[in-house]
Amino acid sequence: MSLTRGLASRLPSALPLVAKAPVVPVVVIERLEDAVPLARALVEGGLPLIEVTLRTAVALEAVRHIAAEVEGAIVGAGTVVERAQIEACLEAGATFLVSPGTTPSLAEAFAETPIPVMAGCATASEAMRLAELGFEVLKFFPAEASGGVAFLKSIAGPLPHLRFCPTGGIGPANAPDYLALPSVVAVGGSWVVPADAIRAGDFGKVRDLAKAAAGLKRAARFG
DSSP string of 28-61?
--SSGGGHHHHHHHHHHHT--EEEEETTSTTHHH
Distance, CA of 139 to CA of 146 (rounded, Å)? 12
Q: Are strands 187-189 and 49-53 parallel, antiparallel or unpaired?
A: unpaired
What is the predicted pLDDT for the residue at 10?
72
Selected catalytic residue, list 30, 33, 61, 139? 139
Mean pLDDT of 107-119: 95
**Catalytic status, residue 139:** yes
Whole-angstrom CA distances from 106 to 14, 81, 91 are: 17, 7, 18
Q: How many CB atoms lie within 10 A of CB 76?
A: 28
Which residues of 97-163 form beta strands (DSSP E)? 97-98, 117-121, 138-140
Identify the active-site residue in 30, 33, 44, 51. Answer: 51
pTM: 0.94
pLDDT one-digit tens code per residue, 148-182:
999 999 999 999 999 999 999 999 999 999 999 99
Note the residue count of the chain. Answer: 223
CA 67 to chain centre: 16
* CA–CA dist 38, 204 (Å, integer): 9
| For residue 221, pLDDT beyond 90 | no
> Which pLDDT value is given to residue 5?
47
pLDDT at 1: 36
SS3 25: strand
For the chain, what is the largest distance between any 2 Cα atoms, rounded to a whole number of angstroms?
Answer: 53
pLDDT of residue 4: 47
Write out pLDDT tens, residues 55-78.
Answer: 999 999 999 999 999 999 999 999
Mean pLDDT, residues 183-207 taken together: 98
**β-pair type (49-53, 74-78):** parallel
Averaged pLDDT for residues 95-109: 96
**In order of start, what are the domains of the chain with their CATH numbers?**
3-213 (3.20.20.70)
CB of 80 within 8 A of CB of 51?
A: no
* Beta carbons of 118 and 96 less than 8 angstroms apart: yes
What is the DSSP-derived secondary structure letter of residue 101?
A: S
Q: Is the pLDDT of residue 213 over 90?
A: yes
Judge contact between 181 and 153, C-beta under 8 A: yes
Identify whether 20 is a catalytic site residue. Answer: no
- In the chain, the percentage of residues whose pLDDT exceeds 70 is 96
